Amino acid sequence: MNKVALIIGAGDATGGAVARRFAREGYTTCVTRRSLDKLQPLLEQIRAEGGTAHGFASDARKEEEVVALVEQIESTLGPIEVLVFNIGANAPSSILEESARKYFKIWEMACFSGFLNGREVAKRMVQRDGDGLKGTIIFTGATASLRGGANFAAFSGAKMALRALAQSMARELGPRGIHVAHVVIDGAIDTAFIRDNFPERYALKAEDGILNPEHIADTYWMLHRQPRDAWTHEMDLRPYMEKF
């Protein structure tokens, strides 16, 4: 059975680039979104490049679906060696207008689902034979992981909680051979959303002023390949012109 990289939230930018990167390295890539139809272009691209990819329609907030997903992959495709949690859920709103339902949904998507997927995969990883690296778990963070901005109360609360989850998991699981990393993406990413909604910001692409998803994916691959005597837990990625 082949080694597997599971990418939760394999969208058109970072998640898709990470999936393609690991596929090029010989991993069976398993990618998820709530809609299987939206995964088809990514699956076709990976296969056209000679990689192996499987798509799954899965709601990362539903415990029973996450448990079933991990069991299906582990029993039919191979051991999950890499988990990348990449769900965003960025939906700004004034605290004066934020609804309880939306606040809770953002927390479910950006934090709770990270807990569910991280827990289920970690339970499998700790059972691997040997004393070396048993797996890598990477959580995608954001500027909001570090500070709460105006109109981002829900997103910041969820992303900060995800960061705390990553820290707790790293401290518990690192000594057991599991590399847990948290990557703060501090800046706009080259996506259709930025292109269509923030054209002035997108114009900075010509000056390397927004993040290239392929370069983010290269960093994720580097984290997975780090020797355990020099593991990185947290790092930040931003364009050279981004203020911080």
Burial of 68 per CB tally in 10 Å (0-12, 13-18, 19+): middle
Residue in the block written with tokens 């339970």 = 123
How is residue 141 written in tokens? 């963070």
DSSP run (H or E) holding 71: helix 63-76
Q: What is the mean pLDDT of the chain?
A: 95
Nearest to 52 by CA among 44, 60, 61: 44
For residue 157, the model assigns a pLDDT of 96
DSSP run (H or E) holding 203: none
For the chain, what percent of residues have pLDDT higher than 90? Answer: 89
For residue 186, the model assigns a pLDDT of 95
How does pLDDT run across 96-142, given as a tens digit for each residue? 999 999 999 999 999 999 999 999 999 999 999 877 789 999 999 99
Nearest to 180 by CA among 127, 133, 110: 133
How does pLDDT run across 188-233, given as a tens digit for each residue? 999 888 899 889 999 999 999 999 999 999 999 999 999 999 999 9
The answer, yes or no, to whether residue 4 has pLDDT greater than 80, is yes
C-beta separation of 170 from 180 below 8 A: yes
How is residue 29 written in tokens? 């890539």
pTM of the model as a whole: 0.95
Mean pLDDT of 166-184: 97
For residue 92, the model assigns a pLDDT of 86
How is residue 64 written in tokens? 């029973």
For residue 141, the model assigns a pLDDT of 97
Amino acid present at 49: E
